[in-house]
A and B are shown apart, each in its own frame.
Chain A
Amino acid sequence: MPDLGLDVLFKGKNMIRLLGGLWVAVKISLISVAISIPLGILLGIIMTSKNPIIKAVTRVYLEFIRIMPQLVLLFIVFFGTTSALGVNISGELASVIVFTAWGTAEMGDLVRGALISIPKHQYESAAALTLTPSQTYLYVIIPQTVRRLIPLSINLITRMIKTTSLILMIGVVEVLKVAQQIIEANRMSSPNAAFGVYLTVLLMYFIICWPISMLAKRLEKKWG
């Protein structure tokens, strides 16, 4: 068994620090997802509009968020708000803003796709049964849309958790940063710690993301 330097994890509060860092990453993802889902549904409904101006504006927003690397967005929000607006926001808040903007764009596109994918005959059949448009949405369209959406939006959570590894660049000490701190503080006593500590971080991401991913898969099978 090669020396992976796993002993550094049990020095002092190191394990608790790593778990604390993981919680920071998960917390920021969950808050962002919680805000993104309703905002994204709203955006998705707006995106199905036939108004060319609304279509163009939402399209530009979606493409802008998708094309820009998340790191650039984080820097713009974290440092840009201070230099341009004089508002000093914390790294955590900047992360939530960026992840929410990103999540809203992704959710919006998913919702738009789900709404469009409901065949026209569903609307027509509902009308034939003398349902009002609001009844059509409530009893026919929305239940079918939600079924298609839930697995996809759960996947968005795992993507967000993984992307939180970037927020260390704006001073938020999350699990990866804690890992780097532990490796550095012990680089003389345990020069091999990097592998073991990164392996532990990998397992932590896996333990958090795998059940979420499995849940999405099950729901997809059940409702798909």
Chain B
Amino acid sequence: MKKFKFITAVTLALTAALSLASCGGGNAPATDGADTSDTASTGAVYRTIDEIKESGEINIGVFSDKHPFGYVDENSEYQGYDVYFAKRIGEDLGVKVNFVSTEAANRIEYLKTGKVDVVLANFTVTPERAEEVDFALPYMNVSLGVVSPESKPITSLDEWNADDEMIVISGTTAETYLTQNYPDIKLQKYDTYANAKSALENGSAAAWANDNTEVIAYSLSTTGYTVGIPTLGSKDTIAPAVSKGNESVLGWLNDEIAALGSEKFFHADYEATLADTYGLDYEEELVIEGGTVAE
């Protein structure tokens, strides 16, 4: 029995010491975290435009490894088509933009939990996603495309070789489309864009399906790869997304996008960020100005 008493004493002493230690250690990293805004105070998951203005900071989820839409340059600065728009939002709201690095697979979670106010991460509008988040007016057109090696180009999915595999990134439109429409095609799923790219270049799959902008840019910049299928599935749009039910930020974004149309903001954005990658030939096809999709 004496042994147990000793253990109890040790236990109590350690618990006391540790509760202090863990407080000190645990709090330290929180102070330099990017997203420590408190959402709990209002009860709602999301913040309204007024709350964002009051805090002086807006948290915008962007890709940090998806050139030329959202990436980080060699000076640690976020750049790209989505980022150019995000910076303008910050300017017009008069707040500092806090960029949060998101992955394709966790964009919805960030909004559902209010960890970001807006997602501008090349987010394609789909009915499934619209059930979980609210999309503002679109600012870009997109459809799917398939890139494959020039030596073995894939021009149609109908004569798919059963042994071949297709690369997709988890959580993207391409994954959903292929699963629904081509259930027989074996998919190789990757969590990050960089890993998918490496996999194609290492020859571990026959082709890579992704947004057509991505595959066009990829084939123009990488020798030996061609876009055998430039458009696949329905034409979609890319739009900013906010937490479900956040009418305040949604309304503000819609007004902003409509107003920016008069100064051809997204054309300027395209020329500043995308022209280097896609050339000017694709400008009218890709850009949506003022939130209205041309027929």
Which single residue of chain A is at the shortest CB-CB distance from B106?
Answer: A169
Instruction: Report A98-120 residues with CB < 8 Å from chain B CB.
Output: 100
Total contacting residues, chain B, CB less than 8 A: 63
Complex Cα spacing A14 to B191, Å: 23
Give A33-47 as 1s and 0s: 1 = Cβ < 8 Å from B's Cβ atoms: 011001101100110
A211 at the interface (CB under 8 A from B): no
**Shortest Cβ distance from A11 into chain B, in angstroms?**
4
Partner of B198, one of A13, A46, A194: A194
The reply to whether the CB of B127 lies closer than 8 angstroms to some CB of chain A is no
Interface assignment of A96: CB less than 8 Å from any CB of chain B: yes
Cα of A171 to Cα of B64 in the assembled complex, Å: 10
Q: Which residues of A contact B33 (CB under 8 A)?
A: 89-93
Q: Say yes or no: is B117 at the interface (Cβ < 8 Å to chain A).
A: no
Within 8-59 of A, Cβ neighbours of B (below 8 Å) are at 8, 11-14, 17, 27-28, 31, 34-35, 38-39, 41-42, 45-46, 49
Within 8 A of B (CB), among A64-94: 75, 79, 82-83, 86-93
A175 to chain B, nearest CB (A): 13
| Interface presence of A183 (CB below 8 A) | yes
- Looking across the interface, which residue of chain A has its beta carbon closest to that of B4? A49
Per DSSP, chain A at the interface is helix
A79 touches B194 (CB 8 A): no
- Indicate if the CB atoms of B194 and A183 lie closer than 8 Å: yes
* Interface segment, one of A153-161, A184-192, A213-221: A184-192
B45 contacts across to A, CB distance below 8 A:
82-83
Bound-state Cα–Cα, A181 to B10, Å: 48
Q: Which residues of B contact A185 (CB under 8 A)?
A: 65, 67, 71-74, 79
Listed in ascending order, the chain A residues whose CB lies under 8 Å from chain B are 8, 11-14, 17, 27-28, 31, 34-35, 38-39, 41-42, 45-46, 49, 75, 79, 82-83, 86-93, 95-97, 100, 132-134, 137, 168-171, 173, 177-178, 180-188, 191, 194
Residues on B lying within 8 angstroms of A by beta carbon are 2-3, 6-7, 10-11, 14-15, 17-18, 21-22, 25-30, 32-40, 43, 45, 64-67, 71-76, 79, 100-103, 105-106, 109-110, 112-115, 191-194, 197-198, 201, 221-223, 277
Given contacts A13-B75, A35-B25, A180-B192, 19 further A-B contacts (CB under 8 A): A14-B74, A17-B74, A38-B21, A42-B14, A82-B113, A86-B43, A87-B40, A88-B114, A89-B36, A90-B35, A90-B36, A91-B33, A92-B32, A170-B106, A171-B35, A171-B106, A171-B110, A191-B221, A194-B198
